[in-house]
Amino acid sequence: MVLMTGDEYRKSLRKRGPLKVYFTGERLKDPLKHPIVQASINSVALTYDLAHNPQVQDVMTATSSLTGNRINRFCHLHQSTEDLEKKVQMLRLLGQQCGTCFQRCVGMDALNAVYLTTYEIDQKHQTQYHKRFSEYVKQAETHDWVIDGCMTDPKGDRSKRPSEQKDPDVFVHVVDRRDGGVIIRGAKAHQTGAVNSHEHLIMPTIAMRNEEKAFTICCAVPADAEGITYFYGRQASDLRRLDQSTEGDIDCGNPEFGGQECLVIFEDVFVPTERIFMNGETEFCGRLVESFAAYHRQSYGGCKVGVGDVLIGAAATIAEYNGVEKASHIKDKLTEMVHLNETLFACGMACSSCGNATPAGNYLVDILLANVCKQNVTRFPFEIARLLQDIAGGLFVTCPSAKELQNPETRDIIEKYLIGVEEVSTINRIKILRLIENLTLGRAAVGYLTESMHGAGSPQAQRIMINRLANIENKKQFAKRLAQIQ
Amino acid sequence: MVLMTGDEYRKSLRKRGPLKVYFTGERLKDPLKHPIVQASINSVALTYDLAHNPQVQDVMTATSSLTGNRINRFCHLHQSTEDLEKKVQMLRLLGQQCGTCFQRCVGMDALNAVYLTTYEIDQKHQTQYHKRFSEYVKQAETHDWVIDGCMTDPKGDRSKRPSEQKDPDVFVHVVDRRDGGVIIRGAKAHQTGAVNSHEHLIMPTIAMRNEEKAFTICCAVPADAEGITYFYGRQASDLRRLDQSTEGDIDCGNPEFGGQECLVIFEDVFVPTERIFMNGETEFCGRLVESFAAYHRQSYGGCKVGVGDVLIGAAATIAEYNGVEKASHIKDKLTEMVHLNETLFACGMACSSCGNATPAGNYLVDILLANVCKQNVTRFPFEIARLLQDIAGGLFVTCPSAKELQNPETRDIIEKYLIGVEEVSTINRIKILRLIENLTLGRAAVGYLTESMHGAGSPQAQRIMINRLANIENKKQFAKRLAQIQ
Amino acid sequence: MVLMTGDEYRKSLRKRGPLKVYFTGERLKDPLKHPIVQASINSVALTYDLAHNPQVQDVMTATSSLTGNRINRFCHLHQSTEDLEKKVQMLRLLGQQCGTCFQRCVGMDALNAVYLTTYEIDQKHQTQYHKRFSEYVKQAETHDWVIDGCMTDPKGDRSKRPSEQKDPDVFVHVVDRRDGGVIIRGAKAHQTGAVNSHEHLIMPTIAMRNEEKAFTICCAVPADAEGITYFYGRQASDLRRLDQSTEGDIDCGNPEFGGQECLVIFEDVFVPTERIFMNGETEFCGRLVESFAAYHRQSYGGCKVGVGDVLIGAAATIAEYNGVEKASHIKDKLTEMVHLNETLFACGMACSSCGNATPAGNYLVDILLANVCKQNVTRFPFEIARLLQDIAGGLFVTCPSAKELQNPETRDIIEKYLIGVEEVSTINRIKILRLIENLTLGRAAVGYLTESMHGAGSPQAQRIMINRLANIENKKQFAKRLAQIQ
Amino acid sequence: MVLMTGDEYRKSLRKRGPLKVYFTGERLKDPLKHPIVQASINSVALTYDLAHNPQVQDVMTATSSLTGNRINRFCHLHQSTEDLEKKVQMLRLLGQQCGTCFQRCVGMDALNAVYLTTYEIDQKHQTQYHKRFSEYVKQAETHDWVIDGCMTDPKGDRSKRPSEQKDPDVFVHVVDRRDGGVIIRGAKAHQTGAVNSHEHLIMPTIAMRNEEKAFTICCAVPADAEGITYFYGRQASDLRRLDQSTEGDIDCGNPEFGGQECLVIFEDVFVPTERIFMNGETEFCGRLVESFAAYHRQSYGGCKVGVGDVLIGAAATIAEYNGVEKASHIKDKLTEMVHLNETLFACGMACSSCGNATPAGNYLVDILLANVCKQNVTRFPFEIARLLQDIAGGLFVTCPSAKELQNPETRDIIEKYLIGVEEVSTINRIKILRLIENLTLGRAAVGYLTESMHGAGSPQAQRIMINRLANIENKKQFAKRLAQIQ
């Protein structure tokens, strides 16, 4: 079974055992039927359906390095800089299609990072992690899994190490070791698409110290494993999604697609040995975290650019609907939006084209440039969104509900007074305004703004890496030589 | 009756005749009891209650230039640059107290602008507008009114003049003239606090041409006048307010205070002559619009600075709760937030201290500097909010509902895993996170971000004024003289 | 003798004993006749001549609080917020007239800072500094002195305190105490207009510790005192000034006016007791440094704005000469330059209008806002200069010397090929281009850019003050109250 | 003769006939011996010497597509995206080595642009340009020529077309056609390295209209052709270079390397037919200009990044010399400099890796991304230079001449007072300060700042291209589809 369709993916989710999912104080009876969850599943499903679209199959799929099969690129171990570039193009394409987070990159990035790290552990420790993990990747490819790359622990008091926390459970760790596996406890926060996944691939969240072996655990568990609880995050304007009338859809802005973030609790979950890929080799946590982060920082040079294209398109559309598309300042602002967006894309592509083969054989991006990419992503989307707000005019935050259009008492008034240029119906104008709200202050803004800030590591994390990789000593030599300093 | 309290204000609203208010497709039976409306009324009520607080009475009240009474500063005609400065301080104070828009500046700014313009019209046309309007201001002072300054028309196709629109009703205009008054028709969009007002003071939205006399109407109508319909705007995360449980309050972020924006329709509303303050004197529309805009652009150098103080405080609080308040990059970001915020305040104060007496006797801000002030307000709050998102960490968009804390099945888990530093309870951490969401992506973001962009005129409107008032010819002379160009 | 003219000022300089001034390895025989020095003196002389111009006398002069005489405002102790505002206006005016640094603010700012500090020392220590200093100010007023405010020591290794330096002389300090006075040794760097001054008013450069009493010395010495050596700084394109032909003037860009920065060495200079204003009271160094810095950070909201006006004028002029003044992007860039420049002015005015009386009676600016002002000055002039470079086109860095115009072989070619619009002569076009070079990469850029960065303290110095004065605890209370955190 | 050394290059320049070069009103007798010219030649010579350095030969040389020879990459027709990437790496390398403009990119970019355009002209018009030009490229490769790519005309009144100018000579054009060739007249401004070149490759500067056939001329002339006059540009602090003492070298900042910009006049220069590559085919001017501009906008993503490395190195060095390298704000500013610089590099690499084969067979960069690259180059170097100024402290603009060190009277004083950390000699500290002056306000600033702004087209030129290539219609479709607009 390779290359599932979106519907097959939806079916595959239903085959999982029951998940324990909480939302607004209640356990959801059938999470997959919840409108908010469904919108998020629609985004993931796109990653399957587009793999069957002949026009984009080249970017959406790849030839497995393990089996030679044609597989979804989200399960692929990158075999070249071209593969790395196609990943970025794929993510941009998906962002353009759903205008939000499609939740499947983290797993892809985790697969590649664990793959290269397990190889390096085995080289040093004569362990079997890489072989085990290669088997795991084969399964992921074959079942076309959505994998939730689980890295970020809740962390408790950030001024303290994992081993110094009052309650060590704020970092996932091994609480018991037994024949055939280990028992883990802890939680992972901000888990994108967790409920929509087949698997969780758990990784340590920071470089660990010698005494933190229990926290040094990398392993995989199925999404329906015993002991897992999901807390679905509340997000901006989420309740609008509960109204699934046509007018509710309009008020949602992006009626079909949504994102998803969960807090996932692991309470004494058993992991069998064959699903353990690192277990106490503290000196490799840094390598795993940095390579995963690098892959994921590259990702943002694709997905956010795709969503950025939607913001630019929304800006151009509302300008046209308002009758101002020829104003020079509007054109200039659109140009600036494009410029910033393409700068992000350039960074995504550059860290790909400067990538290199790892000892394990898969390709890793240029780490310095990937961090530069993400650092820009913590800035430019905010400016692009600001420019969209500028071009949009203020109506997207003061507009009455589209439900007024369904009420015969008020429909004519709304249509009359909220018209823009004559050629465009008021309802279409409202639709684009609500999409703009969604992108800048609503559901999609969570992904386009806050996730751009903190996903794949907060800005300061990138700055530390940039400083470390900059080779400033070398640059000092350039300056000293020119100044003829002996 | 001067200097009402908040409760007296609430009562005064109930004395109005029934308002026709629509929200999400329904006419509200008792708008004042609607939770969303109530939160917005709480903000307005602060402007009354603080006038009774001896510690701030000096900034909250003033001595009427018309009656000598002690009045709420929101009803005051500014008599000095000190008055203009105190206005800015008052708005900052209120922003700090409610963390959102308190909806009463527009009326104050309209009062002052109409006051000076009517004087100048009378000087030229020997009309009686100024005397009439002085009477109106006296009433406003005496009844301590909230006045909705009604300027922005829906505008239809922005590439066309009012007189060129297919449907002229997209600009308020006189449709009939009769003994004792006129009939007006049209709408005003983005009306801040409209439902919470006693009065609407209607003004033309742009400089009008000779043939646009019908659109040149400035007049006052009571909020409960026959023919007015209100469409309450949908805003980011507004539905959370409908849940008024304690946990719903937490999820709201700012449980007590909210803003309000309406689309107000005037369908053949009669205005008696004594409430008409301009009627066809097209050459004075520019003066009215520019002076109103200048006052209102000054306002943003106060209110948004106050809300900015809340963002800075929220950033410092979450940094402390996360255990990172001593990190140098956190301190530096806080410093930057303060720096930007105080730059806005400096602009608000400078356009005040450089203000001048008008021929009518009240004081007008320096128009160039007021436009510079507002132009900065279209930028810095976005950066301040971005920095707040940076400092906050990502949890404010992925956090489960506070309702999980009320569910005995889940309370312990949430408390355990979402703890920050030990000294702070998880619930307090969630509270500040939800306030941050409210300020950057929720209800208050509407006011702090989008309104900062478009309120008192969109950025390009300020740029046109800055260019016009810059006296560039003068500056060319400086350069030519230094270069010794003959 | 009050209110000298420029010529009287020049004469007064010649009355000083001979100064020991080195430039490019040679001691200058007659420093005042050196073309580079003369250009800098021309700028100072403007501060005298304009005091006689009736149109601007109100801003250029003031009534002495000590004698009741009409004095040059540069010698004035500010008596009101209006005085503080007029200071800013005066500095802007002068910047517009000379397009560079006129070198007289530092003394004015030092006078006011030492005045308020000596009062506070006397209050605590029953010393006589304030009386002495008041006498000194009277003399300064009466003789209409240029005073070089001497604060910045060379500082040696910045990671060490004054008392920890290998050679303590990198901070000015008392090396001997004798009847009737003290002997000081050390140096002051970056001394603006030092050679053009009548007096040096020496102040400590940082808050000192208990054990650093010898470094805690505030005193005055005449510019021609025994033991002083001046090293004239080399600055960008300075040698062009040595060619004083007409064409050399053109290549200079700003033929008449220049700035001046010196390294001043004090080798065992004797200071009589009546000229000592602080002597070991270490706990007051902070007050002196911070109040001086605040005054001087305010100054930049005036002088740099005036020079900014010249940059804007130069941009508008070259746009006209190139035939592009109607292009929308040119107009927009000019608007941005004005906007940034007026923002600086607003900060200068705001810290003035928010100033307060000190215990000594003179007025001090709002320190927080003065630091905010200067922080913006470390940014916006760089952007204004960048925009000027953008508008100018590249010719200002590739243009042949104006001397080609004087060479008959080449004059016609240059006139033919470097013409812009027909109405403007090539020579005028070259003149404005060279002024632009001067302002962005030449002599004036030193003042407009680098001095904007480091004068009155480097950016980080302001950030420390902004952070300290921000009252962040207060802001935390606003946030916690709104989030209903107990 | 392929792969000359620097010395062979110098000799080859001397083999040219005498050039008519004017500087500061005089014709230079032996331009190659003029110190200012020599510094600029040193930079070009590096492009030869490094081609012999085995460590970098892979980036400095390439295999000719025309002859199979190993040639200098500056003469190469790019055969792959890898070639395009190596070009960027080569330029960065050279910028690091000389800290200024090495003047040889323009020719490389012109070769590639003319190559692809002539092919396309021939395809349409059955002309012989491409064959001729291929021969020309072979010669360029074989003789390892420096080619001055001549594009920018002086342009006169920018509001007028070439054919509308009062004097058509402000655009190069054909003034006579005769057997065996044409006579051209006009000038090219801002010609980088013109005097240091073997050849000028002349191209039209804008898209021409039908009636502008005479202006549509692309051809090559040797640098010593009859009728050519060079006007050497005056640049910031250029006269310092005339003092070639050791101390003068120090004051220069970068004693060995400089740039060069000339105004080149073509007065009735004869061009034989075999050196004409376009002659009246107006519809291809746009293609030539856009492809040349794209190549050259890519170049800036390499050379300026290399110089940027020098600025970063200078910043880190002076921080160390001042004793502040551990301050967190210093580290953060260095990180920001690196981040911005690497963003430029990323753009240079991305437009390369996204390049494509042209119909002629050589590779062209992605035009949209190349414009994005250059647009960033008009911004970030200014910020990098500002940060360098910040880190440097103010001494680099107030420092006495190094000649004071050679004067026995003053040497000890300077060494004593301008010391930084003990381990570093004062003279080394002065050297790095003067390099910083050179890079931010001196000779190298011309290239690093102004040329970054205007070289390869001014910012607005890139914005026009970005807007045109952005495919905004496509983005509108994304937005409309998500909003479900029919």
Q: Chain C contact for D246, CB < 8 A?
A: no
- CA C154/CA B114 separation, integer angstroms: 59
Tens digits of residue pLDDT in D194-230: 999 999 999 999 999 999 999 999 999 999 999 999 9
pLDDT at position D486: 86
pLDDT band at D1 (very low <50, low <70, confident <90, very high): low
Cβ contacts below 8 Å, chain C against chain D, sum to 257
Q: What are residue B71's DSSP bridge partners? A: B62
Instruction: Name the catalytic one among A261, A281, A290, A437.
Output: A261
* Close Cβ partners of A184 (under 8 Å, ≥ 6 residues apart): A172, A173, A174, A175, A202, A217, A219, A266, A268, A269, A271
Spell out which residues of chain B touch residue D329, defining contact as CB-CB under 8 Å. Answer: 328, 332
Active site residue A296: yes
Going by C-alpha positions, the residue among D325, D313, D454 that lies closest to residue D382 is D454
Tokens of A158: 């950030």
Is B470 close to C312, i.e. CB distance below 8 A?
A: yes
Mean pLDDT for all residues in chain A:
97
Helix (H, G, I), strand (E, B) or coil at B17: coil
D346 close to A (CB below 8 A): yes
Question: Which ranges constitute the DSSP H helices of D323-394?
Answer: 328-353, 367-377, 380-392
Question: Taking CB atoms and an 8 Å cutoff, what residues of chain B touch A332?
Answer: none
Q: Is D274 an annotated catalytic residue? A: no
Reference D467, options D344, D355, D371; nearest CA is: D371
> What is the C-alpha separation between C393 and D296, in angstroms, rounded?
18
Residue C423 sits at the chain D interface (C-beta within 8 Å): no
pTM: 0.98
Q: Has D296 been annotated as catalytic?
A: yes
Of D9, D65, D17, which Cα lies nearest the Cα of D41?
D9
The pLDDT mean for chain D works out to 97
Tell me the C-alpha distance between A136 and A114, whole Å: 11
User: How many angstroms separate the CA of residue A98 from the nearest CA in chain D?
Assistant: 7
Residue D390 and residue C458: Cβ atoms within 8 Å? yes
B210 and B286 Cβ atoms separated by less than 8 Å: no
Backbone angles phi, psi at C367, to 5 degrees: -70, -40
Query: CA D214 → CA A476, B40, C438, D283, D457, distances in Å?
Result: 51, 71, 38, 13, 23
Residue B174: helix, strand or coil by DSSP? strand
CB contact under 8 A, A339 and D375: yes
Instruction: Determine the pLDDT at residue A104.
Output: 98
Distance of alpha carbon B38 from alpha carbon B33, whole angstroms: 6
Buried b (16+ CB within 10 A) or exposed e, B55-80: ebeebbbbebbbeeeebbbbbbbbbe
Give the DSSP H/E element, type plus range, for residue A202: strand A199-202
> Could you give the CA distance from residue D111 to residue C14 in angstroms, rounded to a whole number?
63
How would you class B113 by CB atoms within 10 Å of its CB: exposed for 0-12, middle for 13-18, buried for 19 or more?
A: buried
Ordered DSSP codes for A348-409: HHHHHHT-EE-TTSSEE--HHHHHHHHHHHTTHHHHHHHHHHHHH-THHHHPBPGGGGTSTT
Question: With an 8 Å Cβ cutoff, is C434 touching chain B?
Answer: yes
Instruction: Select from B9, B131, B119, B10 the least CA-distant residue to B72.
Output: B9
**From CA A190, how far away is CA A186, in angstroms rounded?**
14
Q: What is the DSSP letter of C92?
A: H
Decide: B148 and B111 in contact? Cβ < 8 Å: no
- Whether residue A157 contacts residue A316, with contact meaning beta carbons closer than 8 Å, is answered with no
C 136-155 near B (Cβ less than 8 A):
none
pLDDT tens digits along C394-450: 999 999 999 999 999 999 999 999 999 999 999 999 999 999 999 999 999 999 999
Q: Provide, as residue numbers in chain A, all residues whose Cβ is less than 8 Å from the Cβ of B382.
A: 382-383, 386
For the stretch A362-391, pLDDT in tens is 999 999 999 999 999 999 999 999 999 999
Mutant choice from D40, D438, D450 vs C, greatest count of C C-beta within 10 A: D450
- Band of pLDDT at residue C1, cut at 50, 70 and 90: low
Please give the pLDDT value at position A119: 98
Please give the torsion angle defined by the CA atoms of residues A289, A295, A298 and A304, in that order, rounded to the nearest 10 degrees. -90
Distances from the Cα of B369 to the Cα of B295, B345, B357, angstroms: 11, 12, 16
Q: CA–CA separation, D113 vs C436, rounded Å?
A: 33
Q: Does A1 touch chain D (CB under 8 A)?
A: no
The partner residue sitting opposite C160, judged by closest CB among D323, D390, D454, is D323
Q: Write the pLDDT tens digit of every residue in D81-107.
A: 999 999 999 999 999 999 999 999 999
Q: In what order do the strands lie in the sheet with A276-279?
A: A147-150, A199-202, A217-222, A276-279
| Contact pairs from chain A to chain B, CB under 8 Å | 255
Q: Is D192 a catalytic residue?
A: yes
Q: What is the mean pLDDT of residues A417-436?
A: 98
From the centroid of its chain, how far is CA A379? 17
Distance CA D31, CA D39 (A): 12
Contact A317 D476 (CB under 8 A): yes
- With contacts defined as CB-CB under 8 Å, which chain A residues touch B441? 236, 441-442, 445-446, 449-450
Calculate the CA A144 to chain-centre distance.
18
In this complex, is the C-beta atom of C455 within 8 Å of any C-beta atom belonging to chain D? yes
CA C147 to chain centre: 12
Which residues have CB under 8 Å from C215's CB, separation 6+? Answer: C162, C163, C168, C171, C172, C173, C204, C208
Q: How does DSSP classify residue D405?
A: G
Distances (CA, A) of C138 to C9, C59, C271: 18, 20, 19
Average pLDDT over residues A135-162: 97
The minimum CA-CA distance between A91 and chain D, rounded to whole Å, is: 15
- Crossing angle of helices D367-377/D459-469, nearest 10°? 150
- β-pairing, C217-222 vs D356-357, is unpaired
Mean pLDDT of C251-265: 98
Best A324, A326, A328 member to test C by mutation, with max C CBs in 10 Å, is: A328
DSSP codes joined into one string, D431-464? HHHHHHHHHHTSHHHIIIIIHHHHTTS-HHHHHH
User: CA–CA separation, B72 vs B3, rounded Å?
Assistant: 6
Contacts of C among chains (3+ CB pairs under 8 A): A, B, D
Q: Which helix (H) or strand (E) holds D319?
A: helix D285-322
Can A218 be counted among the known catalytic residues? no
Q: Which positions of B are catalytic?
A: 101, 105, 192, 261, 296, 300, 303, 451
Nearest CA to C262 among C304, C221, C229, C224?
Answer: C229
Residues in chain A: 486
From residue B325, give the alpha-carbon distance in Å to each of B317, B391, D324: 8, 9, 23
Residue D156 contacts C where some CB pair is shorter than 8 Å: yes
CB within 8 A of D65, min separation 6: which ones? D76, D77, D79, D361, D362
Query: Is pLDDT at B1 greater than 80 in this prediction?
Result: no
Question: Which listed residue (A48, A232, A300, A321) is catalytic?
Answer: A300
Q: What is the ipTM of this complex?
A: 0.98
Chain A residue at shortest CA distance from B400: A233
Whether C408 contacts chain D with CB within 8 A: no
Question: Which residue type occupies A476?
Answer: K
Distance CA B350, CA C305 (A): 14
Q: What does the alpha-carbon distance between residue C218 and residue D448 come to, in Å, rounded to a whole number?
A: 43
Q: Which of B23, B190, B229 has the CB atom closest to A398's CB atom? A: B190
Q: CA dihedral defined by D178, D179, D185, D187, rounded to 10 degrees?
A: 160
B459 neighbors B378 (Cβ within 8 angstroms): yes
| CA–CA gap between residue A90 and residue A56 (Å, rounded) | 8
Put simply, whether B432 touches C (Cβ < 8 Å) is yes
pLDDT at B486: 86
Mean pLDDT of D26-55: 98
Beta pairing class for D276-279 and D217-222: antiparallel
Q: For residue A2, name the pLDDT band (cuts at 50, 70, 90).
A: confident
Question: Which tokens is B192 given?
Answer: 């801040």
D328 has a chain B CB within 8 A of its CB: yes
D chain contacts of residue B332, beta-carbon cutoff 8 Å: 328-329, 332
What is the rounded radius of gyration, in angstroms, for the C-alpha atoms of chain A? 23
For chains B and D, count residue pairs whose Cβ atoms are closer than 8 Å: 8
Q: Could you tell me which of C50, C346, D194, D54 has the C-alpha nearest to residue B355?
A: C346
Confidence of residue C2 (pLDDT cuts 50, 70, 90): confident
The CA dihedral of B347, B352, B353, B354, to the nearest 10 degrees, is 90
Query: B358-394: per-residue pLDDT in tens?
Result: 999 999 999 999 999 999 999 999 999 999 999 999 9
DSSP D240-251: GGG--SHHHHHH
Chain B CB contacts of A410 under 8 Å are: 22, 25, 229, 231
Which one-letter DSSP state was computed for residue B103?
S
